[in-house]
Chain A
């Protein structure tokens, strides 16, 4: 799919940046004619992906989280969240609802929410070298002939 616009950012894995990341994606995504519900879904999915990187990728300290947002031909929004952290041993297991290594603080619903709020979710991970999560959502056209 042809790229029409793109923005990239990097930030340290501090939890205070979770709010920034979803607000930044929402601001960029507003170029597409999204409903408030669609925008809420995108913000939620971004929050889950960025929180995963912050909580799980760098347990020993701070690392870098990279975020790339693209608008693709056909009103498709793509969000990619990448880290160079410890990676996920078993991606299939991690994607199961309620599975978490985060204890009582985490619900284990992050991937389930990303899956149900976006149209597609791809998770690539290599233990010791990092994880990338790529999500896409097609935005329904509300006005004809633009």
Chain B
């Protein structure tokens, strides 16, 4: 699991890459929460462009970020979601609460 964050004009971008499962989830959640506490963003984007695999541990993380942002009046979108993570998010039904957008062009494998 790889995590990087950047901030520009009140918008926090959290990029998660590699494989996101239970093994890396606790560390990811901790680092993401620290970043949100420090920057208190109005808008937050979770960018999954480089994510190769995600299971339901990813759903828990996205829900946590969503709740934290709600508490501080911020807004969350999830962008560039590849096919496998998208199937997991679809099965969870959280797209009814959170704005989730699939990756436009699939990279050749």
Chain B 21-50: CB-based contact to A (< 8 A → 1; otherwise 0): 111011001000000000000000000000
Chain B neighbourhood of A124, CB < 8 A: none
Interface contact A116-B60, CB-CB below 8 Å: no
The interface on chain B, measured as residues whose beta carbon lies within 8 A of the other chain's beta carbons, has a size of 22
Chain A neighbourhood of B63, CB < 8 A: 107
Q: Which of B23, B59, B92 meets A19, CB within 8 Å?
A: B23
Interface contact A51-B21, CB-CB below 8 Å: yes
Interface contact B87-A51, CB-CB below 8 Å: no
Name which residue of chain B comes closest to A17, CB basis.
B23
Is the C-beta of B97 less than 8 angstroms from some C-beta in chain A?
no
Is the C-beta of A16 less than 8 angstroms from some C-beta in chain B?
yes
Interface contact A55-B22, CB-CB below 8 Å: yes
Is the C-beta of B101 less than 8 angstroms from some C-beta in chain A?
no
Most chain B beta-carbon contacts within 10 A, residue among A41, A113, A117? A113
Give chain A's interface residue range (CB within 8 Å of chain B).
20 to 34
Q: In residues 18-63 of chain A, which contact B (Cβ within 8 Å)? A: 18-19, 22, 36-37, 40-41, 43-44, 47-48, 51, 54-55
Interface contact A44-B22, CB-CB below 8 Å: no
Is the C-beta of B109 less than 8 angstroms from some C-beta in chain A?
yes
A124 to B56, CA, bound (A): 22
Interface contact B22-A18, CB-CB below 8 Å: yes
Chain A neighbourhood of B79, CB < 8 A: none
CB distance from A58 to the nearest CB of B (A): 14
Q: In residues 44-68 of chain B, which contact A (Cβ within 8 Å)? A: 53, 55-57, 59-60, 63-64
CB distance from A19 to the nearest CB of B (A): 6
Is the C-beta of B95 less than 8 angstroms from some C-beta in chain A?
no
Nearest 3 CB-CB pairings of A with B: A15-B23, A40-B84, A107-B59
Can you give 21 contacting A-B residue pairs, CB < 8 Å?
A: A15-B23, A16-B23, A18-B21, A18-B22, A40-B83, A40-B87, A47-B21, A47-B22, A48-B55, A51-B21, A51-B22, A54-B22, A105-B22, A105-B26, A105-B29, A105-B57, A105-B60, A106-B56, A109-B92, A110-B56, A113-B55
